[in-house]
Structure formats: C-alpha cells, structure tokens
Amino acid sequence: MKSRLPLSQALVWSPLWAAGVWLPTAVLAAQAPPDLLLARDWPASATPAGFLVSEKFDGVRALWDGQHLRFRGGGVVAAPAWFLARLPARPLDGELWLGYGRFDEVSALLRRADPDDLGWRALQFRVFELPGAPGSFAARAQQIEALVAETAWPQLVAVAQQPLADLTALRQRLAAVLAAGGEGLVLHRADAPYVTGRVEVLYKLKPVQDGEAVVIGHLPGRGKYEGLVGALRVRDETGQVFLLGSGLSDAQRRQPPAVGTRVTYSWRGRTATGLPRFATLLRVREPGL
C-alpha cells in the first residue's frame, strides 16, 4: 500500500497544510499516468459490513490536481476555462458523466481539442475521492459532501456513499441501481486511508464482470470472416493471454485495434485454467483516457 502519491507521477504533494489536505504544488510530467486506486471484483458471498457503497457510473475517470484536469492515462482534458474555474483548489478524483447509456457521447466530447461548450454545460464531475487527504474514507466522503455543498455548482456532484448491513441489502441496492439504468456498485472500506493501486479496500460489483487488456496480436478469421480479423490476442493486467473474438464490429474486423491498444472486455466467471470465460470486447479505449 502507498499512503501518498509517488513523485514519479504527474503531481508533487507538498507538506503545506490547509483544511486538512495536502495541496498540489507542481505538475512535473504532462503525460505521466497518475497513480490511482483501482477496484477489484467483489467476492460474491462477502458481507458489505465495514464498507461504504456507492453507484458505479459509466463515465470517464478524471483527476483534478488544482490546476489541470487529467485523464486516467495522464493526458490533459481540454476542458473549457469556465469549467475549470468552477472547480475548487483541492485535488479531486471522480467521473465525468453525462447520463445513463451515454459513455460514447462523453468519450467523443472529451476527445475534442476544441471544447464543445454546449456539451460541457451538460457534463457532471461526480467526485468520489480526495487524493492525498488524511483520515479514513468515511471522513473523506464527508469532506467531499461539504466541499460540493460549499461550491454550490450543479455540475460538481458528490457521489453518495451509504453503509449496508448485509448481503441482502447489497443485492437490493444493486437491483435498484440496475433497474434505474445504472451499471453496478462500488464498495470502499470505510476505515481505509488514502492508498493507490489495486488493493483490498475498493471493489466493484456488476452483473457482468469487466476488465482491461492490451492488444498483442490479431488472428485471421474463418468462414464468414475469411479475409478479416477473427479475434484479438490480448494480455490482461495480470499477464494472462487470451483471445477476444466476440464483440468486434465488422468495421473493427476490417481495421482492428492496433497492437498496443487498450481495450475493455466483459466476462462471466473463469475457466479451470483461470482465464476469463465468455470474454467479449466492450470498447476500444482512446489513447490517454
């Protein structure tokens, strides 16, 4: 576990104390990926006691360092000046979100070098973490709510966190989120300090599991896909190599994602050898996002 962001990432955190948080004092590397906390898959029969539960929003993750808004990959978001001016000076971690089922619209909006002002006025920055802040996650969640209330700007939203007593309550909460058009839940240990990496304090719960992988090759198609790409050979974050044949569009089979491209895939359980079962391409991740 890491209790502070390392100097190798895009930020340097000074010991300047203000309102109980560490403040960013310099931006060192414009494209260095920030070291963030990443979610594990929730164990099916585990109890949510000791966790705070929130909805998982299908947007684009972004980190505000007090001066720049950055993608998870480290690139700077080309946000309108008026949007950045409304953000508080404290570092924020959250999701840029337009609404249910609108991920592609968010992605297209954020890829523009010249910000679409109308689109940005519909966008929300949904905040779920205060990078580098001391104390437990429960305390940081309260700080986020107070900060958002003080800002009083509808486009800055504190992601609601709630304790759930047992597995039955967790299942009911998941069902309600899915019925409303959401994609799942996030569980964060209430007593956890601020840490980064894929550690056992943050989990995601979705009806279909998903993950990320890097394209390392292409397999030729057969039958109706003769002359096209039949599958992508990919390597996931644990180093496992497998094929993604389902989910590719005809256009992607004609011009497949290049080697080195990051993709998101869905899966249901694992095989006896530990590989994801029924792996299906969900989307190709744009560079830097």
Active site residues: 56
The residues pairing with 76 across neighbouring beta strands, listed in sequence order, are 70
Q: At CA 188, angle to CA 182 and CA 189, rounded to 5?
A: 155
Expressed in angstroms, the distance from the first to the final Cα of the chain is 24
The residues pairing with 267 across neighbouring beta strands, listed in sequence order, are 209
Q: Please give the biggest Cα pair distance in the chain.
A: 65
Residue 272: count other Cβ atoms within 10 Å of its Cβ: 6
Cα 96 to Cα 108, 250, 283, distances in angstroms: 12, 30, 17
Give the closest residue to 234 by CA, choosing from 274, 261, 271: 261
* Token representation of residue 76: 């700077």
Instruction: Report the residue count for the chain.
Output: 289
The set of residues, in sequence order, having a beta carbon less than 8 Å from that of 283 and lying 6+ positions away, is 103, 263, 264
Q: Using CA atoms, how far apart are residues 91 and 27, in angstroms rounded to an integer?
A: 12
Torsion angle of C-alpha atoms 79, 83, 88, 89, degrees rounded to 10: 40
The set of residues, in sequence order, having a beta carbon less than 8 Å from that of 195 and lying 6+ positions away, is 1, 2, 3, 37, 201
